[in-house]
Amino acid sequence: MIYTVTLNPAVDKTVVINDFKVDSVNRVASMRKDAGGKGINVSKVISSLGGRSKAMGILGGFTGRYIKNYLDDIGIENDFVFISGETRTNLKIIDRMNRTNTDINEPGPAVSESDLETLRDKLLSAVRNDSIVVFSGSVPENVDKDIYFCWIDDVKQKGATTILDADGELLKKGIEAGPHLIKPNIFELGRLFGTEIRDARQAAEYAGQLVRDYKNRMVVVSMGDKGALFVDRAKVLLVHAPDVEVQSTVGAGDAMVAALAYSIDRGLDFESMVRLAAASAGANVMTSGTQPAALSDVRKLENLVTFEYLKA
């Protein structure tokens, strides 16, 4: 079983506004609403790939019920702790004319220590030594930034394989627990080291440092249209992004994380994992909002994925 942990879920409202202008009246060309939050997005893509996961996290209010009902309706197992606050709504503004994607994200409701402890107990009672646990996304503002470090350490003691996809202090502290795999994008990796990373070879050097210093088995760095890097102790692989028509880049990283978790769960070999991860991310940007891509689109792109070894 793959478990996804989302401490700060959201309903993602995606609007398309052609030629979006600041400080002006803008007309919405189209709109959609999705149950979101990074871990929930991961669970949705795992389901579309034919895998099984359980989505866990914190929900509250009307928007929280909307997310749970959505997951129930599409058959994704879930186990959430409900709180008195209201789960946030995030606004995604897509301007296809100017090729921009703007995110306006709410902070999310405060979460008590007892609610977090309840969720932690649920997770620890569920995981086994063959489980995969994905920790991803932001946390409410009142939650300590070492929470991923603590929970990764907890589930590792039960033998679970852990994946971390976070930014800032959550990433900086979380990697100290030695998760099996981390997936920063190139900007998050640069922020982690306090520098601007300009190319794949420079990114590979910093990713390799994480593998050496924090005992991560693998670091995957997503780089948008420049592809992605897969770095472990023995090799560095650069995968080239498939050439697709971009509808929305929202959730592309989550799709990649989902494919990585699915690949580990199914025991796929390294190159098969690389192809599936790149194809899943590529297929995702062909969809609007955070809806998962069709499996048929992922399979088509798998055959178009190309890569090269920078170190083998």
How far apart CA 114 and CA 101 sit, in angstroms, is: 37
Between CA 18 and CA 77 the distance in angstroms is 37
- pLDDT recorded at residue 22: 92
Closest CA to 95 of 13, 12, 19: 19
Report yes or no on 121 lying in a domain: yes
Domain limits for position 231: 2-19+29-311
Please name the residue that has the structure tokens 């401490």: 7
55 within domain boundaries? yes
How far CA 210 is from CA of 174, 198, 273, 277, in Å, comes to 12, 18, 21, 21
Give the integer Cα–Cα distance in Å for 206 and 236: 12
DSSP the chain: -EEEEESS-EEEEEEE-TT--TTS----SEEEEEEE-HHHHHHHHHHHTT--EEEEEEEEHHHHHHHHHHHHHTT-EEEEEEESS--EEEEEEEETTTTEEEEE--------HHHHHHHHHHHHHH--TT-EEEEES---TTS-TTHHHHHHHHHHHTT-EEEEE--HHHHHHHGGG--SEE--BHHHHHHHHTS---SHHHHHHHHHHHHHHH--SEEEEE-GGG-EEEEESS-EEEEEPP----S--TTHHHHHHHHHHHHHHHT--HHHHHHHHHHHHHHHTTSSTTPPPPHHHHHHHHTT-EEEEEE-
Assess if residue 24 is contained within a domain.
Answer: no
Q: Is the residue at 75 inside a domain? A: yes
Please count the residues of the chain.
312
Q: What is the pLDDT of residue 312?
A: 74
pLDDT value of residue 63: 96
Choose, from 12, 232, 254, 265, the residue flagged as catalytic: 254
**Per-residue buried b or exposed e for 292-302, using 16+ beta carbons within 10 Å of the residue's own CB:** bbeeebbeebb
Q: What is the pLDDT of residue 289?
A: 64
Per-residue confidence (pLDDT) for residue 116, from 0 to 100: 97
User: CATH number for the domain including 137?
Assistant: 3.40.1190.20
Quick one: what percent of the chain has pLDDT higher than 70?
99
Report yes or no: 66 and 16 within 8 Å, Cβ to Cβ. Answer: no
- Kindly state whether residue 137 falls inside one of the protein's structural domains: yes
Known catalytic residue at 254:
yes
Q: What is the pLDDT of residues 205-233, one digit of tens each?
A: 999 999 999 888 999 999 988 899 999 99
Q: Is residue 7 part of a domain?
A: yes
% of the chain exceeding 90 in pLDDT: 85
- Is 143 part of a structural domain of the chain? yes
Q: Tell me how far apart the alpha carbons of residues 160 and 37 are, in angstroms, rounded to a whole number.
A: 22
CA 197 to chain CA centroid, nearest Å: 21
**Per-residue pLDDT reduced to its tens digit, 36-47:** 899 999 999 999
d(CA 82, CA 57): 9
Asked, for residue 133, whether it belongs to a domain, the answer is yes
Q: Domain count for the chain, please give it.
A: 1
pLDDT means per 10 residues in the chain (312 residues)?
96 93 94 92 96 97 96 97 95 90 91 97 96 96 96 97 97 96 96 94 95 91 92 95 75 94 97 96 82 89 93 80
Residue with token string 């921009």: 100
| pLDDT number for residue 299 | 93
